[in-house]
């Protein structure tokens, strides 16, 4: 089997695309789709074993992927990483700033170290990656960057550190799009809502118990798939989005809209998910009752 993308098979032929957080979840899915569309994918993350596994999967499927372990929060490490990729693989045409992480906690219980750690991972690291890819490569030949946000439009209760970082990344996306447009560089972002991804299995306690009920709070009455996020990222990297820059695409089934004053109806006509990822699997926390 192969990734069942809606895009043409040679869309990124001859291009090099870096994917941070490529060892799992949405990053893994996006890397598979880009490789299936002809891209040479550079997987970036902190855990070599995860990156190696995904690179092996892509090779088994007939694609081309390399990996580089890096802590994107380390400025000198990021500079060296981008330089090494350029030396080994040539110009960088695309960057998917997907890496991130957070933990559930009310604001009153988050200490300074925890708050700063999440901001460094979800905001500072993405800035460093984008800056170095621009300075060392894209400023000379153009390119496309897609940043990762989240549904933080009404605040992010229970994950205020991540909400602050994602909101900052939304503003950074707009600023970078304006400042770097002269070089033919487009910068956009995606903001997924609740997506059935491996990250769901990292949560414990009360937050874990809530996850299976999330679909009831989505107007489309379901949780999204990794493939639905990946397809949006691929579109924003593609020539079809050549005049789109500084935009954030919400992928949340309209969950970020409306208010409690307008109650959601019970599901009638089903919203059929798109799942083109042949190696996708349902998180354990969602398997109950399936």
Residue indicated by tokens 């990021």: 78
Tokens standing for residue 225: 């798939």
pLDDT tens for the chain, 290 residues: list them. Answer: 799 999 999 999 999 999 999 999 999 999 999 999 999 999 999 999 999 999 999 999 999 999 999 999 999 999 999 999 999 999 999 999 999 998 999 999 999 999 999 999 999 999 999 999 999 999 999 999 999 999 999 999 999 999 999 999 999 999 999 999 999 999 999 999 999 987 787 777 777 788 888 888 899 999 999 999 999 999 999 999 999 999 999 999 999 998 888 888 888 887 999 999 999 988 888 886 45
* 16-254+278-286 CATH: 3.40.50.720
Q: What is d(CA 104, CA 201) in angstroms, rounded to the nearest whole number? A: 13
Helix locations, 105-249, DSSP H: 112-119, 125-133, 139-141, 160-180, 205-210, 226-237
Residues in the chain: 290
CA atoms within 13 A on the CB side of 230: 31
290's enclosing H/E stretch is none
DSSP single-letter state for residue 146: E
Burial class (CB in 10 A: 0-12, 13-18, 19+), 196: buried
d(CA 39, CA 152): 31
Domain boundaries, the chain: 16-254+278-286
């Amino acid at each position: 089997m192969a990734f069942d993308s809606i895009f043409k098979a040679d869309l990124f032929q001859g291009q090099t695309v870096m994917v941070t957080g490529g060892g799992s979840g949405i990053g893994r899915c996006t890397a598979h789709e880009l490789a299936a569309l002809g891209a040479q994918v550079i997987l970036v993350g902190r855990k070599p074993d995860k990156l190696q596994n995904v690179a092996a999967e892509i090779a088994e499927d007939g694609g081309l992927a390399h990996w580089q372990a890096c802590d994107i929060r380390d400025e000198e490490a990021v500079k060296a990483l981008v330089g090494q990729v350029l030396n080994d693989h040539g110009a960088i045409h695309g960057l998917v700033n997907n890496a991130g992480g957070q933990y559930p906690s009310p604001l009153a219980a988050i200490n300074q170290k925890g708050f700063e750690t999440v901001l460094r991972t979800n905001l500072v690291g993405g800035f460093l990656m984008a800056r170095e890819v621009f300075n060392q490569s894209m400023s000379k030949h153009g390119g496309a960057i897609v940043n990762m946000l989240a549904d933080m439009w009404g605040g992010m209760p229970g994950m205020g550190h991540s909400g602050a970082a994602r909101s900052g990344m939304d503003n950074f996306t707009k600023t970078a799009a304006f400042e770097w447009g002269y070089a033919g560089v487009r910068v956009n972002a995606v903001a997924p809502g609740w997506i059935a991804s491996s990250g769901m299995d990292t949560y414990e306690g009360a937050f874990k118990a809530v996850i299976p009920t999330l679909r009831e709070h989505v107007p489309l009455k379901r949780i999204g798939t990794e493939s639905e996020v990946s397809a949006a990222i691929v579109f924003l990297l593609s020539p079809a989005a050549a005049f789109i820059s500084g935009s954030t695409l919400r992928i949340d089934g309209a969950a970020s809209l409306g208010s409690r004053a307008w109650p959601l109806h019970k599901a009638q006509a089903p919203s059929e998910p798109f799942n083109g990822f042949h190696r996708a699997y349902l998180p354990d926390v969602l398997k109950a009752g399936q």
